[in-house]
Chains A and B, each alone.
Chain A
């Protein structure tokens, strides 16, 4: 089976790259085993949040200060500005409404109530442009009875530390009470599936209108809109105060929604998305990859002119480690990692961990290296890349999106 491009991994980076190529008429197939780390995403994209532990104000401006080995430096600061604009377009074309600027970070609020620098945030989620000018004075923080994936007390404390006045208000509706029959399954994604009908939303809105008191903004966990933002808009139309969502613990509704919308758009462009299949090996001919074999299409290698590795980091099994080495399991390409296992980790959950920066080694065009030599038609994008650290630097989703589009450009531009 021959395509123009085969992408291994259907997370944020794989889809962004696939859309970019399909939009220009390429025949693209994405092999995607299971769900991606977008299920942990709180509704924001981060380009660059921290450098040397300090919050970044202007991510584009700060790129020059990054080490040469960072994926952004491989793309080049000047190109990043224009690619960043195309990312916004990619989202709006997919029906995802995001706001923000690559020249000025805003603040997103984590489920624990911590403000973190962000580049783009879903327009129905709480975002703060300026910590000295909060978007509301008094917040009604609506807490769903029996829902434990939102640590309300911590969230309220965090918001108060930022300067908000916060009223914590517990509420429920018949629909929500019914869900408590399986308490362990009372997750954001289940709520989102049951709070969809006009009536169910009306019951929520009635509670808000009764209970919100003199708050000037209503804040509630992000448990709406499994497929688009229409449920939120319907609810907002029924609530007589401005309404904003705040991220919950995973699984994240916002993340699922964005993945659904991107996947849908990719398919509308004629792309093929193979859900639930896993790439297991590749065949090389000299410095080229000729085909990739998957578990379910075992007898039919997928051939293509170009390949993209977008398999994510350790959690997604894009990288693996045993007791001796860190390796890339599908194609066996080179990995940047400390040879000495003693150096991989440090004791303490909150300590910076060296392994977060490990990943696949690439040249200046994001081509993977195998035994030190670039594979001409194989590029790596997203979390599988070395040289960045989503936790310490707040650059995870940014690296995924920007390298995805840069790689798509390289593929289109070559001779």
Chain B
């Protein structure tokens, strides 16, 4: 009976479950650095009560929320605090247009496509002081930010020219959702994944079509466009899973979290049939090793000391263990696991002039931890954390897949897995 009372009592996003304990507020990175933001309890379940009475109670301060989900991880009562806040923002944003700046930042793929055509020019201009000043004053993109460099050759172009042909020869197959970052900024990460998976006998394939996962669109209030792109992605993921019997791997924790969890909760896109077939590559590879289906052999002379940073969305999924355990298999890697702290960038948030200082203040706790760890590099599953940490600490940041690929003895691994 008690159980039934509980199940019949469920409110949207569990907001009636809130016991007002304030634990969520103790972990909110924004409330920690500014009194402009009332914190998750007030912005979430408490404010929702008022907003249900009258939408006019919507507080503009809610747009300061990073949607990092740390509050949800900490809440002992299972309240989906950040979802409540995001939905309130969504309701308030209906009928309003996003600014040019927000639209530009949100369209990571459009920006990428354009820049990619003219990569050397784009890199030079985006990095140039006068350009930065214009961006700072006209576009309100903070001048301290360096745009991640654009690659001259897209990942997909490289893949089609240099890798696609060989993939069918392998015994097992997966699809790869590369995302904007790998495609336009950092094809090496995609190449590293192909190298790693090929060495253990897995062929890698692209989806028939993929679009930006839309994490930045959601954050910037461009919900309609996000929904459109989400549909395209889920349709193509579905083709891979049902038609080709291939799971879909990613190398970005934010894309993964967005497509698995935010599509249904924020955009009402039903992905239940493919949800479990979308996975971060480290999780997929770890499980193959754990089930003794593949073997990884690492270089004898590899030696590095690195710190692992758990991205907020990675923690929300609870998957950091896969990346950490995989990295710990590398004999020459001395890995420090950092306390989970928010880096402060949260996708496009930190690029905005009005957020820059707050973004750096939030990250300062993490930067100090990194400094104290005395490491030569940092590893994390999120590309925007990478930009933020690189800019703020000066240390190189790599995805765990790249670290693994770098440490891998490819020939020995291929032999160990019976591949010639």
Contact = CB atoms under 8 A, between A and B. Distances in A.
Nearest to A29: B321
A264 interface: yes
Nearest to B310: A275
Contact of B25 (A187, A268, A272): A187
Contacts of B317: 296
Interface stretch (A86-94, A175-183, A386-394): A175-183
User: Looking at B290, B315, B337, B338, which has the most chain A CB atoms within 10 Å of its CB?
Assistant: B337
A276 B321 contact: no
A184 interface: yes
Contacts of A187: 22, 25-26
A227 B23 CA distance: 16
B33 to A, nearest CB: 8
A253 to B, nearest CB: 9
Contacts of B290: 1-2, 300
B325 interface: yes
Nearest to A261: B339
Contacts of A190: 25-26, 31, 39
Given A34-B74, A35-B74, A274 B318 contact: yes
B321 A184 contact: no
Interface residues of A, number: 43
Interface string A270-311: 101111110000000000000000111101100000000000
A372 B220 CA distance: 58
Given A275-B73, A323-B2, A181 B35 contact: yes
Contact of B337 (A34, A256, A267, A277): A267
A297 B279 CA distance: 12
B55 interface: no
A251 B2 CA distance: 29
Contacts of A277: 318
B75 A34 contact: yes
A276 B26 contact: no
A194 interface: yes
B161 to A, nearest CB: 36
Interface string B279-297: 0000000110010000000
Contact of A276 (B46, B318, B325): B318
Given A34-B76, A178-B35, A189 B2 contact: no
A373 B75 CA distance: 36
Interface string B23-45: 10110000111011011011000
A240 interface: no
B237 to A, nearest CB: 19
A190 B340 CA distance: 19
A193 interface: yes
Given A185-B38, A185-B42, A267-B339, A35 B318 contact: no
Contacts of A322: 1-3
B35 A179 contact: yes
Nearest to B287: A300
Interface in B287-340: 287, 290, 315-321, 324-325, 336-340
Interface residues of B, number: 40
Contacts of B32: 193-194
A172 interface: no
Nearest to B26: A189
B321 A1 contact: yes
A185 B365 CA distance: 22
A182 B39 contact: yes
A276 B315 contact: yes
A184 B42 contact: yes
A251 B28 CA distance: 14
Contacts of B325: 1, 272
A194 B339 CA distance: 20
Nearest to A185: B39
B25 A296 contact: no
Contacts of A323: 1-2
B261 to A, nearest CB: 11
Interface string A184-227: 11010110011000000000000000000000000000000001
A268 B25 CA distance: 26
A404 interface: no
A276 B318 CA distance: 7
Interface in B44-69: 46
A39 interface: yes
A17 B176 CA distance: 41
Contact of A182 (B1, B38, B315): B38
Nearest to A277: B318
B2 A272 contact: no
A260 interface: yes
Contacts of B73: 34, 275-276
A263 interface: yes
A174 to B, nearest CB: 11
Given A35-B74, A178-B35, A263-B339, A185 B318 contact: no
Nearest to B319: A296
B322 to A, nearest CB: 8
A393 B414 CA distance: 63
A272 B287 contact: no
Contacts of A250: 21
A251 B315 contact: no
A264 B368 CA distance: 13
B247 to A, nearest CB: 12
User: Looking at B36, B46, B76, which has the most chain A CB atoms within 10 Å of its CB?
Assistant: B76
A182 B336 CA distance: 38
A1 B282 CA distance: 14
B59 to A, nearest CB: 10
A185 B338 CA distance: 28
B321 A194 contact: no
Contact of A185 (B22, B321, B336, B337): B22
Interface in B329-381: 336-340, 365
Interface string A383-404: 0000000000000000000000
A39 B19 CA distance: 15
Interface string B230-268: 000000000000000000000000000000000000000
Nearest to A321: B2
Contacts of A273: 337
Given A35-B74, A296-B319, A182 B35 contact: yes
B324 A185 contact: no
B321 A274 contact: yes
Contacts of B38: 181-182, 184-185
User: Looking at A33, A184, A323, which has the most chain B CB atoms within 10 Å of its CB?
Assistant: A184
Contacts of A300: 287, 290
Across the A-B interface, the 6 shortest Cβ-Cβ residue pairs: A296-B318, A276-B73, A182-B38, A34-B76, A193-B32, A189-B26
11 contacts: A34-B76, A190-B26, A251-B21, A272-B321, A274-B320, A276-B316, A276-B318, A296-B317, A296-B319, A297-B319, A299-B287
Given A1-B290, A251-B23, A299-B287, 20 more contacts: A1-B321, A34-B23, A34-B74, A35-B76, A182-B35, A184-B41, A184-B42, A185-B41, A190-B26, A190-B39, A193-B32, A251-B21, A260-B339, A267-B338, A267-B339, A270-B337, A276-B73, A276-B74, A294-B318, A296-B318
Interface of B: 1-3, 21-23, 25-26, 31-33, 35-36, 38-39, 41-42, 46, 73-76, 286-287, 290, 315-321, 324-325, 336-340, 365
